[in-house]
Amino acid sequence: MRLTLRILSALLRYPDEAVQQAVPELAGALADDGLLSSEQRAALQPLLDALASADLLDAQERYVGLFDRGRAVSLHLFEHVHGESRDRGQAMVDLRDRYEAQGLEIAAKELPDYLPLFLEYLSVLPSAQAAEELAQPGVILSALADRLEEKGTPYAAPMRILADLAGAGGEAFEIAPADDPDDLAALDAAWEEEQIRFDAPAAPGGGDCPQAAAIVARFQTAAPLGSQAHG
């Protein structure tokens, strides 16, 4: 499971030369790991092919246009629960502490709830615990997979695989509204919210929907690290 999670993390990151060069080996590595079915591995092939054959700058531009212009398919998980308000702060602090307990250092440019970073963290856990913690944001992963499939992007494949591995399916979750990346005025207004403060306590009795609050609570009260048997 660890290798598959690392590969999915790499595929969902901002494309770089290292990922492009590794593409020829990734399909074989996924097969050797044995976690994914042949159908799931085949579903990833269009993304692997696109990353391998595209001009790197073009691939990076497409990635930014898809994931970074608006919130509809943002890879920052807590954004779909709290938006950019400081209610997200304490959940981020708790998640960061869990990373550091495993010896992971977060790069300054990455927030703790960035999905590829979360997957990298899961990849160092015992398999049973990794599966349990992946299930916590399962409904968000499923909703994101639906959105990406609607957009017809090959990035839908790794997200759907993650949702399946998380055991998500059939449970509706209303994530951030689908915004129009070409409506720049609306985007500017949407992003004009208070900056996240990592030392800000979660607002007691905030206005989150019950399902969103439950997701955050599961992140915050996960089983202690190392409590599961190694897989």
Residue whose C-alpha is closest to residue 45's, from 149, 178, 133, 158: 158
Contacts of 85 (CB under 8 A, 6+ apart): 193, 194, 196
Q: Is residue 174 classed as helix, strand or coil in its secondary structure?
A: coil
Give the pLDDT confidence of 205-223 residue by residue, as tens digits.
333 444 444 444 444 444 3
Phi, psi of 87 (to 5 degrees): -60, -25
The pLDDT assigned to 191 comes to: 39
Residue 108, CA distances (Å) to 27, 80, 159 in order: 31, 22, 25
Is 167 in contact with 135 (CB distance < 8 Å)?
yes
> Quick check: 42 pLDDT over 90?
yes
Give the number of other Cβ atoms within 10 Å of residue 187's Cβ: 16
Domains and CATH numbers, the chain: 2-220 (1.10.3480)
225 closest CA partner among 152, 156, 129: 129
- Count of CB atoms situated within 10 Å of the CB of 17: 8
For residue 172, the tally of other CB atoms under 10 A from its CB is 9
For residue 128, pLDDT beyond 70: yes
Distance CA 199, CA 197 (A): 5
160-201 per-position pLDDT tens digit: 999 999 997 655 555 555 454 444 444 444 434 333 332 323
Distance CA 91, CA 81 (A): 11
pLDDT in tens, 10-39: 999 999 999 999 998 998 999 999 999 999
Entry pTM: 0.74
Percent of the chain with pLDDT over 70: 70
Instruction: Give me the mean pLDDT over the 86-91 stretch.
Output: 71
81 or 137, higher pLDDT: 137
State mean pLDDT over 67-73: 87
Q: Is the pLDDT of residue 225 over 70?
A: no
